[in-house]
Amino acid sequence: MEQNRTDALFLSISNGVFDVSRQSNVDAVPAATGNYTEKPLLLNNPYDPGSDLPGALGRGQATASALGNFFKFWAYGSTIIGAVVADQFLGKFKTICLACFIYIVGLTVLVTTAIPSSIHSGTAFGGLIASMVIIGLGTGGIKANVTPMCAEQYRREFAFVKLLKSGEYVIVDPELTVERMFMWFYFAVNVGALSPLITVNVEANVSFWLAYLIPLIAISISAAVFVTSNKLFYKTKPQGSAIVDAARIIAVAVEEGGFEKAKPSTMQAQGKENKYPQPEIYTDELVEKVRTGVTACKFFVFLPLYFVSWIQIWNNLISQAGTMALHGTPNDLLQNLDPIALIIFIPLLDFVIYPCLRKYKINFRPVVRITTGFIMAALSMVYAAVLQHYIYKSPPNSIHVWIQAPAYILVAFSEAFVIVTGLEIAYTKAPKTLRSLVSSFFWVTIGIAAAICISLTPVTKDPDILWMYTSLAVITFVGGCAFYACFRNSLEPVPVLEAASSESPAGIMDAAAMGVGKTEVV
């Protein structure tokens, strides 16, 4: 049954609804824990509405930044655990359900240890760390599987020819459809990322425990809806030994000097067929699929150099805002410019920029998109460094906090190119049995970047932080240039006319003979 253009949007947004709630927690919790960890408890009223900077633990910026980076390191690093459980044992749907339960337990711990009595008794800091570990594990299980599960709802693999009501023939390109689905999925995720608009005001004017209770209620409701809607989803079954088989093939390829030499046909020709124990499913086709998955992972090598700059908007830029003139604006409110900018920019890309580029036959291919994202993130750090310079030159708290806005907006624009394209590569280039695992390798690059940021903790203080921003700008720009230099000839899409002609079902006339005028998204 043929699906239309609107269905692609519905599939991506409907499967992103659950991740909206999950993302609301991933963004709301660190947003609130920054001030919670860094700032001290006020003496008269721990939640004084007149205070611009509420706090609780008073551990300072370095500790708050280190804990925030640890949370990202653990949350994104644990995606590998979530991927292994899904691909090897439970499948994506059941793994997401289990991860949800773990997530809810972690948030419950955070809420109960953030009440005033826990803060005064000294148990809040231990509760914060414990909740971060539990929430991070739940995040890994959800994040590794929601994206590939979303994309799997669309099951067309080849381009095909379609006759419009106008009498015009067009080629429907599934590759563009998948690209579009990931954009709108990320759009839905960033709707959830707006939750700090509520939580940062609740923490400033009411209490931290209530700021944490809001996402707990949200994830509980959405998890219940997700579980009860299980019959609406297309679900792939776990393959049991898929990861073990892939690991075995990679080991053979390393020992033999390449995947081509690891193929059973090559080994048989060389008289090595008995050198390794080979299960029946160990075929040339399987080796080729594993090679494709490994090749996809190569494109993620430089991404930590991008994410070290991306992470700054969730910790150090919040602290920078605290040194500026707030005029009643919570210092951690501006990070919401990131999802707001994405909510505006993604439809602009989908409905205006990308169609215009295709119309004029400009190939804005994945490598160019990711490189563009690197450059935008580097410009964001340049802006942050220049702003930090003027903060030092000006009287204390004299520069308005909204001057920070371009730094957040530039990072947001970069995400639309780097993260969306990276997820697309992870899905389209991975073997069907290893999609969660390859997607987890993409997310792990954020964990690696967070580990790098933890090592930078000693310089996240005045006046060293100015040079940290400058260094990150250089590192991210160089990383983008290196990425383009290494992969500029890679990820060329299959010409859609060729795909339609060779893969369409028998009975469809040759596309060129029809005079196909354009390419459409299904």
Rounded mean pLDDT, 492-521: 46
Confidence at residue 23, expressed as pLDDT on a 0 to 100 scale: 52
Confidence at residue 54, expressed as pLDDT on a 0 to 100 scale: 72
Confidence at residue 7, expressed as pLDDT on a 0 to 100 scale: 46
280 falls in which pLDDT band (50, 70, 90)? low
Confidence at residue 82, expressed as pLDDT on a 0 to 100 scale: 94
19 falls in which pLDDT band (50, 70, 90)? low
Confidence at residue 156, expressed as pLDDT on a 0 to 100 scale: 76
Confidence at residue 12, expressed as pLDDT on a 0 to 100 scale: 47
Answer with the residue of higher pLDDT: 72 or 508.
Answer: 72
DSSP code of 420? H
Confidence at residue 411, expressed as pLDDT on a 0 to 100 scale: 97
Say which range, 37-46, 323-332, 385-394, has the weakest mean pLDDT: 37-46
Rounded mean pLDDT, 50-78: 79
Count of other CB atoms within 10 angstroms of residue 504? 18
**Sheet bearing 518-520, strands edge to edge:** 160-163, 169-172, 518-520
- Which tokens go with 254? 């390393």
Answer with the residue of higher pLDDT: 117 or 192.
Answer: 117
Say which range, 68-77, 217-226, 265-274, has the weakest mean pLDDT: 265-274
> 12 and 181 in contact (C-beta within 8 Å)?
yes
Measured CA distances, 352 to 10, 267, 347, 355 (Å)? 20, 51, 8, 6
Q: What is the pLDDT of residues 330-389, one digit of tens each?
A: 787 888 899 999 999 999 999 999 999 988 988 899 999 999 999 999 999 999 999 999
Could you write out the DSSP letters of every residue in 33-66? HHHHHHSBPPSS-TT-TT-SS--BB--HHHHHHH
**Is the per-residue pLDDT at 506 higher than 50?**
no
The Cα 116–Cα 68 span in angstroms is: 22
- Which tokens go with 181? 């689905």
79 falls in which pLDDT band (50, 70, 90)? very high
- Which tokens go with 498? 């060729």
Percent of the chain with pLDDT over 90: 37
The Cα 152–Cα 229 span in angstroms is: 16
What pTM, to 2 d.p., does this model score?
A: 0.83
* Domains along the sequence of the chain with CATH: 5-241+279-520 (1.20.1250.20)
- With a CB cutoff of 8 Å and minimum separation 6, the contacts of 348 are none
Confidence at residue 281, expressed as pLDDT on a 0 to 100 scale: 67
Q: Are strands 160-163 and 169-172 parallel, antiparallel or unpaired?
A: antiparallel
H or E stretch covering 156: none
H or E stretch covering 358: helix 354-359
> 19 and 184 in contact (C-beta within 8 Å)?
no
26 falls in which pLDDT band (50, 70, 90)? low
Q: What is the pLDDT of residues 405-433, one digit of tens each?
A: 999 999 999 999 999 999 999 988 888 88
Say which range, 205-209, 337-341, 494-498, has the weakest mean pLDDT: 494-498
Q: For residue 1, give the 3-state DSSP assignment.
A: coil
Confidence at residue 1, expressed as pLDDT on a 0 to 100 scale: 36
